[in-house]
Structure 1
């Protein structure tokens, strides 16, 4: 099986920040799937041009877009919702923010391995990283639905504006 290549998918606009965050989750799932294929691809084909291109795409996403996604949540989305959040959601938000640190630590181990791509790419590190993200998104997505229902449209537009500015 070859390494996956991500196509250009239409993304929602920043006018709908929740949809934008969910679209990021879809990209994360696709990059995790691509990442999961990489060790077997490298074992079969070596560290060829396609493997290096895949590692570069994955590294670019998780070094640039993923940290911005976490900032969108920690700096804008969660603080906007916390004043109206049920205590269970407030606790969940604290848990999700702490998980960002765990995911970042797991990513840094993989980032180094992908930068120095070789056949010593750790399938266990990849599995842990992808599992952390899957568990995280499974908790976060229902929360996003509650946040979207709870926040006023103008607040959501402001969040989207902040997200767009963060990427300039």
Structure 2
């Protein structure tokens, strides 16, 4: 995704919750790219721009998206769960929703594995059988529905709750862990 002039600066690892939301925008963007290419080309030979777009989206979901899942499941969710004792009912409800979110992650991983397999065949053979092209679009539509609900829950409920409950030092630690997953250091 290109930087847009006049847009706010991208969040940094010093703002891990904002960075997680920004990752959601990338997930939405690259899923839209998949759907655009799949619907435009319908399994037919890919143009150069379609091929490049498909390769970029595949790379994001193979490399970037798993790190995002780890950011949530390894860094954020366990810290929220550790606060479960003695919190009000609204907080307890958010914590219970994290099981659903983790289940969403597993379903998305399975769907992405199949999307990856179909798209790599498309790139290698420069066409898909009609049934494969339809299956790809079906998988992508399912992923879009899952991500839409999933992202809304995290952006609107989980991340704001985390921002209220987690200490600034804990958020810094989460940001440092996120940076380390990407081979970077946090600039303080």
Q: Give the TM-score taking structure 2 as reference length.
A: 0.81
Match of 1:106 among 88, 106, 111: 111
Aligned residues, how many?
163
Match of 2:159 among 144, 150, 154: 144
Deviation at 1:53, TM superposition (A): 0.5
Deviation at 1:44, TM superposition (A): 9.4
Give the number of the structure with larger relative contact order, counting CA–CA contacts within 8 Å between residues 6 or more apart: 2
**TM alignment of 1:24-35, pairs within 5 A:** 24-35=23-34
Check conservation: 2:33, 2:54, Cα contact below 8 A. Answer: no
Once residues 42 and 8 of structure 1 are traced to their aligned partners in structure 2, the CA distance between those partners, rounded to angstroms, is 27
Aligned to 2:143: 129
Cα displacement string for residues 92-115 of structure 1 (whole angstroms, at most 9, x for unaligned residues):
111111110001001111111111
Check conservation: 1:77, 1:159, Cα contact below 8 A. Answer: yes
Deviation at 1:89, TM superposition (A): 1.6
Structure 1: give runs of 5+ residues left out of the alignment.
Answer: 1-5
Deviation at 1:81, TM superposition (A): 1.2
Aligned to 1:7: 2
Deviation at 1:45, TM superposition (A): 7.2
Once residues 44 and 71 of structure 1 are traced to their aligned partners in structure 2, the CA distance between those partners, rounded to angstroms, is 33
Cα displacement string for residues 66-117 of structure 1 (whole angstroms, at most 9, x for unaligned residues):
0000001000101111122432122111111111000100111111111112
Aligned to 2:168: 153
**TM alignment of 1:55-94, pairs within 5 A:** 55-85=54-84, 86-94=91-99
Deviation at 1:46, TM superposition (A): 2.9
Check conservation: 1:55, 1:115, Cα contact below 8 A. Answer: no
Check conservation: 1:15, 1:160, Cα contact below 8 A. Answer: yes
Deviation at 1:43, TM superposition (A): 3.6
Once residues 145 and 38 of structure 2 are traced to their aligned partners in structure 1, the CA distance between those partners, rounded to angstroms, is 16
CA RMSD in angstroms comes to 1.7
Cα displacement string for residues 6-27 of structure 1 (whole angstroms, at most 9, x for unaligned residues):
3236521100000110000011
